[in-house]
A = this chain, B = another copy of it.
Amino acid sequence: MRPMDTPIRVTVWNENFHETSERDGAAMAERYPEGIHGAIAHGLRDRLGDGVVTTTATLDQPEHGLTDEVLASTDVLTWWGHVRHADVDDAVVAKVHEAVLGGMGLLVLHSGHFSKIFKRLMGTSCALAWRSRDDAELVWTVAPGHPIAEGVPHPIRIPQQEMYGEYFDIPEPDELVFVSSFTGGEVFRSGCTFRRGRGRVFYFSPGDQDFGVYHHPDIQRVLANAVRWAAPEQRSGRTAPGLVNMKVPDFTGARLSTEVGA
């Protein structure tokens, strides 16, 4: 397993649009002075201390801040996007996809459900139902033995939040950890794990640009748990699974091949 004495290297990615837009900039500066990415990174450091090293990356940087070097030295990538999914370069998406299959952890957050990378990993439309009004959200744990649910109240109570509802068009999760309800009566599979290749993916829906959900201590706890869960044991030299031409069978006759000729 992952050596316990080395910190997990997390790259927190944000499209960083609302923060820099004329329409939302002022409200965002008040709600998220360091941007959504800054708030997420801050929460992880608060919870994990020396157990984590965070950096951030945004859409407007060269290669969206996700160069080969960055990906190779990232143990867990978190992804937040909303209105600029289409502007993410397909070549970068392909590299992130390859990195996940090779073992890099990925946390897809809230409106990231419609990101290119999530849709590519899921193979479905990732569509859902939504309403942005005055709902409260309760996040219920349905897998209390899962490491991501450790120390999380049942339910988490979020006073104000955008509603995300079913049907959420994803493959059946490998593990369903959280299910949310909203005051309007909707439900949502809000915390889902998926293994893809050697990588671990966690989708978590609470967290919106219009509400300060990433400052919520329980939400921060979930994200910190998820970072630890998603971090690969292997810290370097990771590669995605590939085609293997197995010329020599393991059994020859009724014996192990290595014994043959011995």
Contacts and interface: CB of A to CB of B under 8 A. Distances in A.
Contacts of A128: 243-244
Interface in A107-129: 120-125, 127-129
Nearest to A233: B150
Contact of A169 (B101, B155, B159): B101
Copies in the complex: 4
A181 B175 contact: no
B180 A183 contact: no
A159 B262 CA distance: 13
B186 A246 contact: yes
Given A101-B124, A179-B166, A233-B147, A185 B249 contact: yes
A83 to B, nearest CB: 14
B195 A138 contact: no
Q: A-side binding surface: helix, strand, loop or mixed?
A: loop
Contact of A123 (B1, B122, B250): B122
Given A123-B121, A198-B145, A131 B166 contact: no
A168 B150 contact: no
A230 to B, nearest CB: 10
Most B Cβ at <10 Å: residue of A4, A168, A250: A250
Contacts of A252: 184, 254
Given A122-B123, A171-B196, A183-B255, 11 more contacts: A121-B124, A124-B197, A129-B243, A133-B249, A135-B249, A136-B251, A138-B187, A141-B167, A142-B166, A150-B233, A174-B174
